[in-house]
């Protein structure tokens, strides 16, 4: 059963962007939260579209990123790899959330129940290995390593359907009223409840979900 948001009637929705450092800082806790609760409620992840349109551009356009990353690492323990740091130093790497969102859509299409995992794997590719999420090979590599049909992922990307789904994710993000990432929601029918995200202990997340589920 789906609701007017075209989501499962009762679901935890993780609104993230693969190029969002704060999402990377929350990624491990998000995985723990899903693992603790996946047996009683559906989970999904959608792309918010942080770097789209005029915002899609080289990292040198965003000089605040290194300072923000240092704070993220301090508060969450997230590790930003040397390969990623090199991209920042060179400054030419282009962050394009349209392509990153298409990558999530292509992976999610084959295994929607693992959407939280795909969100983490995309961020791990970027922040952990310095790979471009605009490179179809990056997405296909994740698919192959995780038991999906990599050729189907490549067709999904090349044919445009994955990018079309990413646009739908961005539109859904706006409909849900989300303007910052990461945002964690519990959607019950047409009712939307916000859950705490970055910096929140697993016990607090579980307690908040318990209260909503009643």
Q: Into how many domains does the chain fold?
A: 1
Residue 2 lies in a domain: no
184, with CB counted inside 10 A (0-12, 13-18, 19+), is: buried
pTM of the model: 0.96
Question: Which candidate, 115, 132, 135, places its Cα nearest to that of 47?
Answer: 115
Residue 1 lies in a domain: no
Question: Which candidate, 117, 109, 127, 145, places its Cα nearest to that of 30?
Answer: 117
Q: What is the pLDDT of residue 198?
A: 87
147, with CB counted inside 10 A (0-12, 13-18, 19+), is: exposed
Q: Is the per-residue pLDDT at 2 higher than 80?
A: no
Residue 86 lies in a domain: yes
List pLDDT tens digits, range 172-184: 999 999 999 999 9
Residue 137 lies in a domain: yes
Q: What is the CATH number of the domain that holds 177?
A: 3.40.30.10
List pLDDT tens digits, range 109-160: 999 999 999 999 999 999 999 999 999 999 999 999 999 999 999 999 999 9
Average pLDDT over residues 51-68: 96
Residue 3 lies in a domain: no
Question: Which candidate, 149, 134, 140, 72, places its Cα nearest to that of 99?
Answer: 134
Average pLDDT for the chain? 95
Q: What is the pLDDT of residue 7?
A: 82
Q: What is the pLDDT of residue 132?
A: 98
Residue 100: which domain range?
10-213
């Amino acid at each position: 059963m789906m609701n007017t948001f075209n989501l499962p009637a009762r679901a935890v929705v993780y609104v993230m962007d693969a190029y969002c450092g704060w999402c990377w800082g929350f990624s491990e806790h998000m995985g723990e939260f899903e693992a603790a609760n996946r047996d009683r409620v559906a989970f999904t992840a959608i792309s918010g579209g942080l770097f789209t349109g005029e915002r899609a551009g080289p990292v040198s356009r965003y000089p605040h990123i290194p300072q923000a990353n240092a704070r993220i690492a301090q508060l969450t323990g997230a590790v930003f790899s040397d390969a990623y740091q090199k991209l920042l130093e060179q400054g030419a790497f282009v962050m394009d959330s349209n392509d990153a969102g298409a990558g999530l859509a292509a992976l999610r299409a084959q295994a929607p129940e693992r959407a939280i995992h795909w969100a983490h794997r995309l961020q791990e590719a970027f922040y952990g290995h310095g790979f471009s999420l605009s490179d179809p090979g990056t997405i296909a590599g994740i698919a192959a390593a995780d038991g999906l049909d990599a050729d189907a992922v490549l067709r999904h990307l090349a044919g445009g359907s994955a990018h079309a789904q990413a646009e739908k994710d961005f539109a859904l993000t706006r409909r849900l009223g989300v303007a910052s990432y990461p945002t964690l929601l519990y959607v019950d029918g047409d009712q939307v409840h916000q859950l705490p995200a970055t910096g929140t202990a697993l016990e607090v997340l579980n307690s908040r979900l318990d209260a909503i589920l009643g």
